[in-house]
Amino acid sequence: MTSNSDSSKSWTAARMEGVRRDVQCAGSFSSIPDLSMVVRQQAPKTEQAGGRNIGWKCARPGFRRIGAARQAMRFPESKNELAAECDLPILAGQEITRGAVMLPRYSAVRWWNIVVLLPAAGRVPAWIGNRHRINLMEKRLICASIGVLEYQDFDPPALQPGQVRIQAEFGAAKHGTEMAFYKGYANERGPYDTATGMHVRGKPANPYPFAIGNMVVGAISEVGAGVSGFAVGDRALAYSGFATSAVTDTKLCWKLPAHVGWQSAVCIDPADFALSALRDGHVRIGDAVAVFSLGAIGLQVVQMLALAGAHPIIALDPIAQRRAIAAEYGATLVLDPTACDAGAEIRKATGGRGADVVIEYSGNRQAMQDALRGVAYGGTVVAGSFPPPYSAGLDFGAESHVNLANIVFSRACSDPNRDHPRWDNDRIYAACFDLICAGKIDGAKIVWPVVGFDELSTAYPEIAHHPESTMKLGVRYG
């Protein structure tokens, strides 16, 4: 790209030729992996080029424009080459933020009046030097208060020993838990006191700002001290809110094989709770099992029931598309619980006996009542959701009183596990990751819609207001 103005070009060249002529390039930078960058120059506010105010401009072709697809580029071999390839300069004093020039995979260095973006994991060219490294802001989406979402800039934290940095490529929400705080219905319980094992009454919780989002898939861009088994460039999965980069301990980070789709990978969290529910319900081969609520966890439950040899598998949800997916995943009967007597239909499908196990993930009062109505004598209802308080009318004096139903609460991350010390949440994670990598459980039909990061603030509220329009919200960065 040639400059739009001869005067601006000569100004740039003259200014650069006079700067640090004695500094020599210390080597080639073509070995930096996935090298893509933008070079920009900063000029005094008083300067103009060609009679026009100077604004943002990219370097010539061969340097990547902001927003363009990634591609390998050659780093300029010397300051003189850099000067010759610079286009129009930038107004001095322009705030350098991610919103202006930063992409998720990039950090920055400054050399005199030149700002260079390069991969966060790349080394700083010797002719620039570490003393000129600068940080650019990353961006995240948070819940600032009940029902209020905000994008925030944040400084990428330095890595601690045992941590890695992941540059986000894909991510997903965790609908049930996040809605408890986005809608605010969990706050009135008060903060949970781990010492007493109780919520503190009369003191509403205030978890805001609350990091929404649950999982991230991306490339590792930096590895902290003491980390083994992970390297820069590895494709990884970890827990993270919606943010352009994440720092995580390697304990809850998984290196993803190339064949594993990101939608299936981000479903490790619902799979974790699904497997815990099956284990807490003591599901055995041949058991008749009903599943209320076919969200991300419920659909993972259906897949695992099919693997476990349960029969029949009765899947219930008011949303037709979810019932259709459940049928594809192995449900033998799908029902709309709002259009029938769900408890009676469960008994009809099991020869009048009722389901050996009912797994209830809706948190809805009527669903719990139907579960107690449809479970077999001495059978088990697994309550796995994180619900708001049940509305009035839940009747424990009806079928459950006569039929001696058992209610078991299930939460995978409550350790020690019921089967401690043989099982804990780490073992459940490991089992779920093996199932995902083996292709035995799937997330491709579960993660939808998928939106861009900039669209999240509009798409996210649909989880609360139009649940039929979203199953497990996914995000694509960049």
**Predicted pLDDT at 418:** 95
**Predicted pLDDT at 157:** 87
The chain-wide mean pLDDT, for the chain, equals 78
Residue 105 has pLDDT above 50, yes or no: no
Spell out a b/e string for 214-252, using b for 16 or more CB atoms within 10 Å of the CB, else e: bbbbbbbbbbbeebeebebebbbbbbbbbbbbbbbebee
**Predicted pLDDT at 421:** 96
Instruction: Please report which helix (H) or strand (E) contains residue 320, including its range.
Output: helix 320-328
The region of weakest confidence among 57-71, 113-127, 349-363 is 57-71
CA-to-CA separations, 48 to 17, 43, 51, 237, in angstroms, rounded: 19, 9, 6, 47
> 33: which 2 tokens?
């992996």
Residue 287 has pLDDT above 90, yes or no: yes
Q: What is the pLDDT of residues 304-329, one digit of tens each?
A: 999 999 999 999 999 999 999 999 99
421 DSSP assignment = T
The region of weakest confidence among 152-166, 244-258, 340-354 is 152-166
- 300's CB contacts (< 8 A; 6+ apart) are 267, 270, 271, 273, 274, 275, 441, 446
Mutual angle of helices 320-328 and 296-308, in 10-degree steps: 30
Cα–Cα distance, 90 to 243 (Å, whole number): 28
Q: Tell me the pairing of strands 163-172 and 215-223.
A: antiparallel
Place of tokens 């807490």: 280
| Of 240, 216, 242, 214, the residue nearest 149 (C-alpha) | 242
Place of tokens 């797994």: 359
SS3 state at 83 = helix
Residue 29 has pLDDT above 90, yes or no: no
Q: Contact, 227 vs 163, CB < 8 A?
A: yes
Cα–Cα distance, 365 to 361 (Å, whole number): 11
Residue 119 has pLDDT above 50, yes or no: no
SS3 state at 367 = helix
Q: What is the pLDDT of residues 376-419, one digit of tens each?
A: 999 999 999 999 999 999 999 999 999 999 999 999 999 999 99
- For the chain, what percent of residues have pLDDT higher than 90? 67
| Of 257, 169, 221, 152, the residue nearest 474 (C-alpha) | 169
Other CB atoms closer than 10 Å to residue 107's CB: what's the count?
Answer: 22
- Domain segments of the chain as ranges: 6-136, 139-265+447-476, 270-433
Considering the segment(s) 139-265+447-476 as one domain, its CATH architecture is: Alpha-Beta Complex (3.90)
**Predicted pLDDT at 138:** 85
Residue 420 has pLDDT above 90, yes or no: yes
Q: What is the pLDDT of residues 199-224, one digit of tens each?
A: 999 888 889 999 999 999 999 999 99
Cα–Cα distance, 155 to 241 (Å, whole number): 15
**Predicted pLDDT at 137:** 66
Q: Where are the beta strands (DSSP E) in 352-414?
A: 355-360, 375-383, 406-409
pLDDT class of 20 with cuts at 50, 70, 90: very low
Residue 89 has pLDDT above 80, yes or no: no
Task: Kindly state which CATH superfamily the domain 270-433 is placed in.
Answer: NAD(P)-binding Rossmann-like Domain (3.40.50.720)
pTM for the model stands at 0.75
